[in-house]
Structure 1
Amino acid sequence: MSAAKSIESCAQFEYALSAYVDGELDPDHAVDLESHLVQCPPCFEQVKVLRSLRASLKRAKPAACPNALRARVAASIAHEQAREAAQAFEARPRLVHRGYAAALAVAAGVVFMVGVTRQRAAAPPPEAAKSAAKMDADAARAESVEILLDDLVTQHAQPLPPETTNPEDLPRFDPFVGVPVRRPEFQSMPVNFMGARVHTMRDRRAALLQYVVRGNHRVTVYLFNSRAVPVQKAQPILQPRVVRERPVYVGKINGYSVVAAERSGVGYALASDLGDDLSTQLVLAAMQ
């Protein structure tokens, strides 16, 4: 690519980098941008910088107000309200005795403190908040697995053209997927590598690899970060098995055989029109 053409191409995609990093870019434009990033080191580095910045901002936590300071502020506010109430009663015509005014002022402070105490009591205990957060996180992971499997079958049934047919390009997918992307060899049977692409699924990405097995059987493989999308959450969509002392998850989705497994943080999901046993053999071979 010439320098002039490269600059022109970068200018077309520069506006979309922030939206892409934030996960707000629509899938069609995300695919185009990712195709550009695979071939453009400067834009690729800019995406890395933006992601690092977002990660730093997420790690920055606002300082919590100390409990002692919170108590002093509440007491100061209560005292000030009581003083203002007493002054108001002092300024009125002497229809109310000063003792009553002081008592009412103290009562106002007590009401305020009771209100503060009730607000604190209404807040859920830390253990309950942590449990609710964990349940939300587990539900999100389960949804991510379901999305990934449905997307895998859709892409297998209606495949998009690959971004590359050269397996030497696969390591450039690593930053997008979050795990090492290498071509499975499938040494146990004749398999032809047809191509690969980075595929976007909401806020997740997977490397999509396309193969042909035994002459005319297409096989689609997803490689993904299994720490972000835990394979074990595939239940009950897929049924667990233990094959060669490895846990795998096997089932049918829309008539296609689907198998998922993971090794060392790398998730593997495969869709084909082959039988479950042969598809399982392919996944286990891919993990070697």
Structure 2
Amino acid sequence: MSAAKSIERCARFDYALSAYVDGELDPDHAVDLESHLVQCPPCFEQVKLLRSLRASLRRVEPARCPGALRARVAAAVAHERARGAAREAAQSLDARPRLIHKGYAVALAVAAGVVFTVSLTRQEPAASPQETAKADVEHASTEEMVERLLDDLVTQHAQPLPPETTNPEDLPRFDPFVGVPVRRPKFQSMPVNFMGARVHSMRERRAALLQYVVRGNHRVTVYLFNSRAVPVQKAEPLLKPRVVRERPVYVGKINGYSVVAAEHSGVGYALASDLGDDVTTQLVLAAMQ
């Protein structure tokens, strides 16, 4: 195709890119646009940019206090309340006239000294402000990474891009990019059709994105990723923890889609579908077998 024709064709689709990313383009035009995206890297990159922009806007929210800081503040408040209660109790006792035998006073003093000595020997060294700040930053960064993964999963499920391959035998070549073995889940519990796969980038991390059709016309999008780098348990509070078949899973709704995440042997699994939480949970358990 000549450069002039290519530019003319891009101009014909340029008006539709935003509507396509927003899910407002009618199916006939969407099919034409997707065929164009496969052959046009600039338009394909423009779609990726628009999706990233919308994902960033959805994540904008008021700053939240890190969980570690909330825990330290709560502990400090509880400690101060306990000290205040102890002072009040001591003052009330001091106000009452009493006689204490000298032998009892000596015994109490010795006991108090022993308790104080033991408490000093067992006291853990306090973390430095630098160490505490570093831990808070790492915790927040991990939570943000998991949140981004789940948000990208739902976005890719709602508006899927064309797969890089439709041959499941090609999946092992994704291993070096994802950092874990990428194999096609069997889903033996129900009939599914493999539609294709691609590598999806998430800043410095990557996941394998697999596309399926279940029960005739229900799409299922699966992410496989390195759960040691992106820990599944950080999916809270977006997803709620459950135990199904003695396995911990995280289940919830994001933008109207059922999303379930789990981990097995260092491989993270995250599924998005419109099938409901229970069926999606069964799918993620079947994928880990």
TM-score (norm 1): 0.56
Residues in 1 aligned to 2:287 and 2:151: alpha-carbon distance in whole angstroms: 21
SS at match of 2:188: coil
Q: Deviation string for 1:172-205 (max 9, x for gaps)?
A: 0011011110000000100000000000112211
Residue 169 (str. 1) matches residue 192 (str. 2): no
Shift of 1:219: 0.1
Q: How do 1:1-288 and structure 2 match up within 5 A?
A: 28=45, 127-288=128-289
AA partner of residue 279 (structure 1): T
AA partner of residue 223 (structure 1): L
AA partner of residue 142 (structure 2): R
Residues in 2 aligned to 1:262 and 1:131: alpha-carbon distance in whole angstroms: 28
Residues in 2 aligned to 1:211 and 1:250: alpha-carbon distance in whole angstroms: 19
AA partner of residue 230 (structure 2): V
SS at match of 1:282: helix
Q: Deviation string for 1:29-60 (max 9, x for gaps)?
A: 9x9xxxxxxxxxxxxxxxxxxxxxxxxxxxxx
Residues in 2 aligned to 1:128 and 1:244: alpha-carbon distance in whole angstroms: 42
Residues in 1 aligned to 2:233 and 2:136: alpha-carbon distance in whole angstroms: 16
TM-score (norm 2): 0.56
AA partner of residue 163 (structure 2): P
Shift of 1:131: 2.2
Shift of 1:130: 1.9
Shift of 1:165: 0.6
Shift of 1:211: 0.2
SS at match of 2:132: helix
Identical counterparts, % of pairs: 82
Residues in 1 aligned to 2:155 and 2:224: alpha-carbon distance in whole angstroms: 16
SS at match of 2:165: coil
AA partner of residue 28 (structure 1): E
AA partner of residue 203 (structure 1): E
Q: Deviation string for 1:55-96 (max 9, x for gaps)?
A: xxxxxxxxxxxxxxxxxxxxxxxxxxxxxxxxxxxxxxxxxx
Shift of 1:126: 6.7
SS at match of 1:164: coil
How many residues get paired? Answer: 168
Structure 1 runs (4+) deviating above 4 angstroms are none
Structure 1: stretches of 5+ with no match in the other structure: 1-26, 32-124
Shift of 1:133: 1.1
CA RMSD in angstroms comes to 1.7
Residues in 1 aligned to 2:191 and 2:255: alpha-carbon distance in whole angstroms: 26
Structure 2: stretches of 5+ with no match in the other structure: 1-43, 49-125
SS at match of 1:133: helix
